[in-house]
Amino acid sequence: TTTTTTKRVLLFPFMAQGHLIPFSQLAHLISLRNNHSVTLVNTPSNILTLRSILPSSSTVRLSSLPFNPSDHGLPPGQESTDSLPFHLFFPLFLSTESLRPAFTRFVSDALSSDPTSPLSIIADPFLGWTVDVAKDLGVFHAFFLTSGAWGSAVFLSLWTHHPLPWSDSDDLALPNRPNVRLRRSQVTPLLLHGDDDDNPEFAFFHRQIAQFCKSDGVIVNTAEGFERSGVEFLKEESGGMPVWAVGPLLRVPSTPLSDDTHIGWLAGHPPASVLYVSFGSMNTISASQMVELAMGLEASGTAFVWVIRPPIGFDFKVGFREEWLPEGFEERMREQNRGVLIHGWAPQMEILSHASTGAFLSHCGWNSVLESLCNGVPIVGWPIAGEQFYNSTMMVEEIGVCVEIARGNGNESVVCREDVERIVRSVMMGGEGEEMRRKAREVGEVLRAAVGEGGASVRAMDDFLRTALSTMAGKD
């Protein structure tokens, strides 16, 4: 006879849109399986965000841990990277460690309230300390990587081999992968300068990453058939832990948006003729880069939708100032029906799935990459931080669906309007762009098949759930 024991899964994402979205999707997918009870745990304001991301019919439970933002120098109700200015990101990261006692109590109460039903924890790698909670309570633990396999593996490798053996030259071979070469501009400043545990920011990430290989396994938001060498590299970096590629897990658009003005604007343009421009939910470029981008877009003659945020150094809550753009730019573009600026949150999934969208100028955040490629839309890469640099390189060199236009938003990365014009033209109007679109459509098919019936990612998810919930306790 089959058992009807309820199997419980607790998921705990880091507080950033790019993490909350795939975690919600993973939670929802698991909750659709028979006899699985799924709970997302987070701080109060992020619980509200998670509720708005989940489909309204979802049975995923939401549980708030007590958290007072002002204890950590954060403004009231602002506990996520998309509502905080950049200089408060680190206090937010640091504040997550204070959640440990409340999370421990939450898990141990769940265990004592129903000792017979298996429970497992899926947590964000930025919450490395959750491994210790799981070990102390004898519960299975896995990390869910919301970035890709290749980017995550390079990132882990950089931390593992810190300090890196830079010579005077500007580039470096990864110690354990000599054929992977990186430039200084592709490495987070923390790993270039923050060479010691006296730097609290360096020490924080060091603490979390040291926990990585203590977990029972790794789930990653990618498809094996899409990132074959990435998954292999991630397995190496994970020190023999099982790796389950269960993606792409994407947000399902919850409301029909046909009356959205931007979607309406797109509909008035020919197929694959509009460039969508966005740097994600937390990154932004410098004021001078913004002007060069605007001038280059204008000169290219391409139609565009640009999700625009104040340049670095400005709180994005202050509102937008015209002086950040070339004089009369927004009005001129609107009058010529050439381009629209979205101030605020864009319906990105809907824009990328629209037939008029022909390419995506993106910071190469992993969710953006997956959303673009699943829709067969090639990428003009402008990576800014973290593992975005490696996502971009991998898509340029290995998959052929991306061309890099710029790198970084610091003073040292100069972007000129002529380059923007030339690259945008070649992707939107030239043969190079046609070839990239053909490849992006092929990759899109691979990605969609992986999460379709009987696909490799669905089978990986089955395998993960069997492993995670077949025993009451994880490994010692």
**Site residues for ligand UDP per CB under 6 A:** 16-18, 21, 251, 278, 280-283, 307, 345-346, 348-349, 365-368, 371
CA atoms of 253 and 355, how far apart (whole Å): 16
Q: Please state the closest distance from residue 281 (CB atom) to ligand UDP, in A.
A: 3
CA atoms of 7 and 470, how far apart (whole Å): 9
Is there a cis peptide before residue 175, judged by omega within 30 degrees of 0?
Answer: no
Q: Please state the closest distance from residue 349 (CB atom) to ligand UDP, in A.
A: 6
Q: Please state the closest distance from residue 17 (CB atom) to ligand UDP, in A.
A: 4
- Give me the residue whose beta carbon is nearest to ligand UDP: 18
Q: Please state the closest distance from residue 223 (CB atom) to ligand UDP, in A.
A: 16
Residue 58 or 120 having the CB closest to ligand UDP? 58
Q: What is the 3-state secondary structure (H, E, C) of the chain?
A: CCCCCCEEEEEECCCCHHHHHHHHHHHHHHHCCCCEEEEEEECHHHHHHHHHHCCCCCCCEEEECCCCHHHHCCCCCCCCCCCCCHHHHHHHHHHHHHHHHHHHHHHHHHHHHCCCCCEEEEECHHHCCHHHHHHHHCCEEEEEECCCHHHHHHHHHHHHCCCCCCCCCCEEEECCEEEEEEEHHHCCHHHHHCCCCCCHHHHHHHHHHHCHHHCCCEEECCCCCCCHHHHHHHHHHCCCCCEEECCCCCCCCCCCCCCCHHHHHHHCCCCCCEEEEECCCCCCCCHHHHHHHHHHHHHHCCEEEEEECCCCCCCHHHCCCHHHCCCCHHHHHHHCCCEEEEECCCCHHHHHCCCCEEEEEECCCHHHHHHHHHCCCCEEECCCCCCHHHHHHHHHHHHCCEEECCCCCCCCCCCCHHHHHHHHHHHHHCHHHHHHHHHHHHHHHHHHHHCCCCCHHHHHHHHHHHHHHCCCCCCC
Q: Please state the closest distance from residue 103 (CB atom) to ligand UDP, in A.
A: 23
Phi (first) and psi of residue 274, to 5 degrees: -110, 135
Residue 37 or 368 having the CB closest to ligand UDP? 368
Contact between residue 303 and residue 392 where contact means Cβ atoms under 8 Å apart: no
Residue 21 or 377 having the CB closest to ligand UDP? 21
Q: Please state the closest distance from residue 441 (CB atom) to ligand UDP, in A.
A: 20
Residue 28 or 141 having the CB closest to ligand UDP? 28
Residue 363 or 417 having the CB closest to ligand UDP? 363
Residue 104 or 254 having the CB closest to ligand UDP? 254
Residue 39 or 368 having the CB closest to ligand UDP? 368
Q: Please state the closest distance from residue 322 (CB atom) to ligand UDP, in A.
A: 20
Residue 93 or 106 having the CB closest to ligand UDP? 93
Residue 65 or 307 having the CB closest to ligand UDP? 307
Q: Please state the closest distance from residue 364 (CB atom) to ligand UDP, in A.
A: 8
Residue 18 or 217 having the CB closest to ligand UDP? 18
Q: Please state the closest distance from residue 75 (CB atom) to ligand UDP, in A.
A: 20
Sign of the torsion angle spanned by Cα atoms 152, 126, 247, 456: positive
Residue 15 or 282 having the CB closest to ligand UDP? 282
